[in-house]
Chain A
Amino acid sequence: MPPKNNKGGAKAKETSEAKQDNDNSKSQTVFERAQAAYDLTRPPYDKEREELGGLHKLSTVEKTAYASWFCTAPDELNFLSKKAQKELWKQVNETNRPLRRGQIDQPKRDQWGKDRLGRNIGDYTVLQYERRIEKQARLTGLKALGRSFASKRLYASRGLVDSSTGEKYTLTEEDIQAERDRRMEMAALKKDLYGEKMGPYSTDPEWDDVVPVPQMEPEGALSAIAYPEDYAESMSYLRAVMAANEHSPRCLRLTEHIISMNPAHYTVWLYRFANIQHLDMPLLDEIQWLNGVALDFLKNYQIWHHRQLLVDHYHPIIAGSPDEVKRFAKSERAFVMAMFAEDAKNYHVWSYRQYLTRKLGLWENEEHGELDSIEGMIDDDVRNNSAWSHRFFLVFSNPRYANPDSQATEADPGVPADIVDREVAYAQAKIQLAPQNQSPWNYLRGVLVKGGRALGSVKGFAEQYVQNLGDVEKEEVLSSHALELLADIYEEAGDKGEGGLVLAEAGREVGSHTLRVLGVEAEVSEGG
């Protein structure tokens, strides 16, 4: 005995309401819509029950109606008493609500979960929610396509035949590109929907076979770094391929990526070189790349050891051709000079230059050679001690005449006298430009020692810079380094009185600490 409603009218009314609802529903939140739907299906007296604080607060009639509504499905009405049936139908008509067993649960605001920003999805507008559902559907579809790609790749790798076409499964470059695009889209969707980030490696099918080894920092680790995601991901792939001892072009690209983020990572550099060795990569390509990195990271240390390893590795290949060696030397020198334009005293670059000189045998001063280049640098800045130091190495370690076992602080009879003369004259000419510049003075001493000459051989030269010593009125000291050298010259000649005067003078000129140190030096020499 269902109630007789004017179905047509109700429908018409519903449609217009639905339309209105539909417009509202787009701005309504998901929770509000669910709450509204729930309200529509609530049994009679449910609200009252809730508000009064329990079933026992309802009257007997109300209680019965509530229980009947709640427990009875339409085909079970016969189980109720006639009176109860009558009351129930009355309720149905009054509330205009459907009668069915198993009411929907009261919605909770947080039952849809949270989005990546921690916002309740229940607070989404319906329109926003529909868009989210569409994205989830899209993601599911992409995943399915990804699975079929993975299967196809597996079949192709096993040489299986596709029974529908009778041909072997093959994976084309288009397939791989499509998968790559798919992963990019999936990564974007996952990030958008769930805040899950997929880095460039987990989205690249080329890296599917690698199980990354993440850095599991122990609880309480000291100086722990909050790694940027890109860095953390690439490092976890690096650990995996290093553990597998893999050497491949993709590993090279991985090292390049990590180096761009942290060039001081020695492990990555050593591993990169192992890859180059293994793959027998062309030297010049790597050098070319390295030049850019070196100019980007001027203070970096590892770059220069890497470069040295490269040259060690390739030298045997070019060693047989003097032209090739010359060409290579020229381009290396050009690059080193580009580095010096940024920092003319870069210790690592100078060390590399010394290494290169030995390795390629750049001792003799061919046209625009090493010695000319160094002279140019000394002309640019006569105080550049690194350039002076390199010159000393160039002149006094030349294997053509130098004794390879000779210490830097001892005489080497192998060095020809004309070279010693040339270098003494060179140092003296540079001292004249700026007599208080210590570099050429140290150089001059070094040359005299190497040449086995007495310091006294330059006494006259040094005295130019120290005049009328001891005469307070006329005294003129242009260089404390000349004073120090003179002190040693006097000592060499056994004239301690004069030496003491010079030392005292040096102390006044340069500061008390130098006096003390020079005093110690004198004492050490006397003691010895």
Chain B
Amino acid sequence: MQNRTATTANTGVDEEVVSQMADYTTRGSRLSIDSLYTSEPLIVDPLVTATSTAQDRTLDQCLPLLKAADSNLEYNANGVPRLHRERHIKYLEQTLGNLPAPFVGADASRPWCMYWALNALSLLGADVSKFRENLIVTAAHMQNKTGGFGGGFGQTSHLATTYAMVLSLVIVGGESAYEVIDRRAMWKWLSSLKQPDGGFQMSLGGEVDVRGAYCAAVVISLLNLPLDLSSDSPASAAGLADLYTGLASYVQRCQTFEGGISAKPDAEAHGAYAFCALGCLSILDAPHRIIPRTLNVPRLISWLSSRQYAPEGGFSGRTNKLVDGCYSHWVGACWPLIQASLGAPSQPAHDSEFCSFYDREGLIRYIMSCGQDHSSKGGMRDKPSHRSDAYHTCYVLSGLTSAQHVVSAVLAEEEYVANMAWKVSPYSDPQLFDEQDRLNPTDPVYAIPQRKREEVMTYFLSKPGF
């Protein structure tokens, strides 16, 4: 921090910074919060545009919470609020219950509501098995005879809702949940979504993007579907060999000049698509082989590292956009995969310092202070000015668990690389949060509890064919 004066001379915020520093110092004796998280960035251009105005507004709402200056909240000695675990559980269970009429806008994404709630509940250590029977009847009702799940009864099958429904069934687990899925129909339907350029349509007649690549790879690998294309599919007619043919090169075409990944070729780099790209590749082959072969990793790391902002500590989805709690997962979950891409799994060569490709402390501070709805409603949110919702609750908590754990690849079975084992150890350096606020770990590729992922894979590996 010794170079502060050299840069602030140009920003016109000298006094402000100094006063914040003073504020930090007095608080610092009581609460140890590094000024990195409590003061405005050291270099701020004076030019005002729509982007800088929005950024300033965001800082205004985040700083009081980050400085532990909100008198309504209880902070621990590190200036981090507690996790409102019980409230979040209650909020998520409501999402699985009956929803009032204003939720009609979610009518095409009910499987998503289920996945978000069930996954977040398992991260929080709540019992999800009590939802098994009801999930099974709900899923059966939304499955189409022609394969896949729609957003609801009578709706066209869609890869996103299919992904969410399959993951939900895997989270509650058990043979009766697995057997809801009509695997043969699923395989035929996925074959029909496969595009001659290697990608996947989200639904028949729907858009092709990198979400499709990820969702398809997740479903195919979890259910151990045959890779051969159904002979009546257009992709088969176009001469493609199997469901995975050309998928990695489709993902490759989504990397942009910035180093990040876009939804489809030609578009702007975006955090959510970066995760989809890395997740998809990590299913196709071991990360240390396929990621460096497919993507420009140094540029990707540079772009990913730019996603974390100071002082907020949270991640943004794109260059010059605002922090949003959901990128705690979309960007945060990229890091274990990036790390796995840098070395062979059998040689965990990197020391503990290397485990932190991003600033875990900043992310944890953002999530606990700004990403939680501190009211009795519970749930997690985008940023303090936003209301909590099931989507953010799932992905903010997913981000929190990945910040709380060090996950590294340890083994890849050559025959079946998707069934990769990950070594999980708690991260506590520094121990910012109370130990009882540690969440259950999550699988870095599938975004569900690792044990549940292993159970379903074991189940279907014993069932080749249909």
User: Are B266's CB and A354's CB within 8 A?
Assistant: yes
Taking Cβ atoms with an 8 Å cutoff, the residues of A that contact B are: 213, 215-228, 231, 235, 238-239, 242-243, 261-267, 270-271, 273-274, 305, 308-309, 344-345, 347, 350-351, 354-355, 358, 380-386, 389-390, 392-393, 396-397, 407-410, 433-439, 442-443, 445-446, 449-450, 472, 474-480, 484, 508-514, 516-518, 520-521, 524-525, 527-528
User: Are B268's CB and A386's CB within 8 A?
Assistant: yes
User: Are B297's CB and A225's CB within 8 A?
Assistant: no
Docked CA distance A321–B85 (Å): 63
Residue in contact with B256 in the complex, picked from A384, A408, A510, CB distance below 8 Å: A408
Docked CA distance A458–B152 (Å): 55
User: Are B50's CB and A478's CB within 8 A?
Assistant: no
Q: Which residue of A lies closest to B264 (CB)?
A: A351
Q: Which residue of B lies closest to A228 (CB)?
A: B101
Q: A222-B131, A273-B205, A520-B357 are in contact. Are A436 and B44 (CB under 8 A)?
A: yes
Docked CA distance A409–B265 (Å): 13
Check B238 for interface membership: any CB of A closer than 8 A: no
User: Are A225's CB and B264's CB within 8 A?
Assistant: no
Residue in contact with B100 in the complex, picked from A226, A243, A517, CB distance below 8 Å: A226
Check B384 for interface membership: any CB of A closer than 8 A: no
Q: How many residues of B contact A (CB 8 A)?
A: 95
**A193 vs chain B, min Cβ distance (A):** 25
Residue in contact with A218 in the complex, picked from B98, B137, B155, CB distance below 8 Å: B137
User: Are A226's CB and B98's CB within 8 A?
Assistant: yes
Q: Which residue of B lies closest to A386 (CB)?
A: B268
**Would you call the interface of chain A mostly helix, strand, loop, or mixed?**
helix
User: Are A270's CB and B206's CB within 8 A?
Assistant: yes
Q: Which 7 A-B pairs have the closest CB atoms?
A: A513-B359, A446-B257, A517-B305, A383-B51, A434-B45, A389-B268, A385-B319
Residue in contact with B257 in the complex, picked from A222, A442, A472, A518, CB distance below 8 Å: A442
User: Are B319's CB and A438's CB within 8 A?
Assistant: yes
Taking CB atoms, residues of chain A closer than 8 Å to B138 are 218, 220-223
User: Are B95's CB and A382's CB within 8 A?
Assistant: no
User: Are A262's CB and B319's CB within 8 A?
Assistant: no
Q: Which B residues, 225 to 263, have Cβ-Cβ distances below 8 Å to chain A?
A: 252-253, 255-259, 263
User: Are B99's CB and A224's CB within 8 A?
Assistant: yes
Docked CA distance A517–B307 (Å): 12
User: Are A222's CB and B96's CB within 8 A?
Assistant: yes
Docked CA distance A354–B358 (Å): 32
Taking CB atoms, residues of chain B closer than 8 Å to A225 are 98-101, 103-104, 106-107, 110
Docked CA distance A265–B98 (Å): 20
User: Are A511's CB and B310's CB within 8 A?
Assistant: yes
Q: Which B residues, 179 to 203, have Cβ-Cβ distances below 8 Å to chain A?
A: 203
Q: A383-B320, A434-B45 are in contact. Are A472 and B3 (CB under 8 A)?
A: yes
Taking CB atoms, residues of chain B closer than 8 Å to A528 are 298
* Further contacts, 8 of them, CB under 8 A, given A222-B96, A385-B319: A220-B138, A267-B108, A344-B50, A408-B257, A484-B302, A520-B354, A520-B357, A521-B302
Taking CB atoms, residues of chain B closer than 8 Å to A508 are 1-3
Taking CB atoms, residues of chain A closer than 8 Å to B104 are 225, 227-228, 231, 261-262
Q: Which B residues, 116 to 152, have Cβ-Cβ distances below 8 Å to chain A?
A: 117, 131, 133-135, 137-138, 140-141, 150-152
Residue in contact with A513 in the complex, picked from B318, B320, B362, CB distance below 8 Å: B362
Q: A225-B104, A381-B51, A511-B359 are in contact. Are A407 and B252 (CB under 8 A)?
A: yes
**B95 vs chain A, min Cβ distance (A):** 6
**A282 vs chain B, min Cβ distance (A):** 21
User: Are B108's CB and A358's CB within 8 A?
Assistant: no
Check B69 for interface membership: any CB of A closer than 8 A: no
Taking Cβ atoms with an 8 Å cutoff, the residues of B that contact A are: 1-3, 6-7, 9-10, 36, 41-45, 47, 49-52, 95-101, 103-110, 113-114, 117, 131, 133-135, 137-138, 140-141, 150-156, 158, 203-207, 252-253, 255-259, 263-264, 266-270, 296-299, 301-306, 308, 310, 318-321, 342, 353-354, 356-359, 362
Between A263, A383, A508, the greatest number of chain B beta carbons within 10 A of the residue's beta carbon is seen for A383
| A/B pair count, beta carbons within 8 Å | 271
Q: A261-B104, A267-B108, A477-B3 are in contact. Are A222 and B44 (CB under 8 A)?
A: no
Residue in contact with A382 in the complex, picked from B49, B205, B257, CB distance below 8 Å: B49
Q: Which residue of A lies closest to B135 (CB)?
A: A222
Residue in contact with A389 in the complex, picked from B95, B152, B258, B357, CB distance below 8 Å: B258
Docked CA distance A479–B110 (Å): 46
Taking CB atoms, residues of chain B closer than 8 Å to A525 are 298
User: Are B51's CB and A351's CB within 8 A?
Assistant: no
Taking CB atoms, residues of chain B closer than 8 Å to A480 are 43
15 A–B pairs (Cβ distance < 8 Å), ordered by A: A223-B110, A261-B104, A266-B156, A267-B108, A274-B205, A381-B50, A408-B255, A408-B257, A434-B49, A436-B43, A472-B3, A474-B6, A475-B6, A511-B36, A512-B359
User: Are A521's CB and B301's CB within 8 A?
Assistant: yes
Docked CA distance A109–B252 (Å): 78
User: Are B3's CB and A475's CB within 8 A?
Assistant: yes
**Would you call the interface of chain B mostly helix, strand, loop, or mixed?**
loop
Docked CA distance A438–B319 (Å): 7
Residue in contact with B49 in the complex, picked from A309, A351, A383, A479, CB distance below 8 Å: A383
Q: Which residue of A lies closest to B1 (CB)?
A: A508
Docked CA distance A301–B109 (Å): 13
User: Are A223's CB and B108's CB within 8 A?
Assistant: no
User: Are B299's CB and A509's CB within 8 A?
Assistant: no
**B119 vs chain A, min Cβ distance (A):** 14
Docked CA distance A32–B259 (Å): 85
Taking CB atoms, residues of chain A closer than 8 Å to B256 are 389, 392, 408-409
Docked CA distance A219–B106 (Å): 20
User: Are A384's CB and B320's CB within 8 A?
Assistant: yes
Docked CA distance A344–B50 (Å): 9
Taking CB atoms, residues of chain A closer than 8 Å to B354 are 520
User: Are A222's CB and B267's CB within 8 A?
Assistant: no
Taking CB atoms, residues of chain B closer than 8 Å to A226 are 98-101, 103
**A313 vs chain B, min Cβ distance (A):** 11
Residue in contact with A385 in the complex, picked from B141, B158, B321, B359, CB distance below 8 Å: B321
Between A216, A261, A472, A511, the greatest number of chain B beta carbons within 10 A of the residue's beta carbon is seen for A511
Residue in contact with A227 in the complex, picked from B107, B203, B267, B301, CB distance below 8 Å: B107
Residue in contact with B203 in the complex, picked from A266, A435, A443, A517, CB distance below 8 Å: A266
Residue in contact with B320 in the complex, picked from A215, A385, A396, A408, CB distance below 8 Å: A385
User: Are B36's CB and A512's CB within 8 A?
Assistant: yes
Taking CB atoms, residues of chain A closer than 8 Å to B150 are 267
Q: Which residue of A lies closest to B117 (CB)?
A: A223
User: Are A433's CB and B47's CB within 8 A?
Assistant: yes
**B260 vs chain A, min Cβ distance (A):** 9
User: Are B153's CB and A217's CB within 8 A?
Assistant: yes
User: Are B42's CB and A517's CB within 8 A?
Assistant: no
**A86 vs chain B, min Cβ distance (A):** 72
Q: Which residue of B lies closest to A394 (CB)?
A: B266
User: Are B103's CB and A358's CB within 8 A?
Assistant: no
Docked CA distance A222–B137 (Å): 9
Q: Which residue of B lies closest to A396 (CB)?
A: B257
Docked CA distance A382–B47 (Å): 9
Docked CA distance A480–B41 (Å): 11
Q: Which residue of A lies closest to B44 (CB)?
A: A436
User: Are A221's CB and B207's CB within 8 A?
Assistant: no
**A259 vs chain B, min Cβ distance (A):** 11
Q: Which residue of B lies closest to A344 (CB)?
A: B50
**A431 vs chain B, min Cβ distance (A):** 10
Q: Which residue of A lies closest to B253 (CB)?
A: A407
Taking CB atoms, residues of chain A closer than 8 Å to B253 are 407
Taking CB atoms, residues of chain B closer than 8 Å to A397 are 266
**A343 vs chain B, min Cβ distance (A):** 10
User: Are A218's CB and B259's CB within 8 A?
Assistant: no
Residue in contact with A510 in the complex, picked from B45, B258, B267, B310, CB distance below 8 Å: B310
Taking CB atoms, residues of chain B closer than 8 Å to A213 are 154
**A405 vs chain B, min Cβ distance (A):** 9
User: Are B156's CB and A267's CB within 8 A?
Assistant: yes
Taking CB atoms, residues of chain A closer than 8 Å to B306 are 438
**A383 vs chain B, min Cβ distance (A):** 4
Taking CB atoms, residues of chain B closer than 8 Å to A305 are 206-207
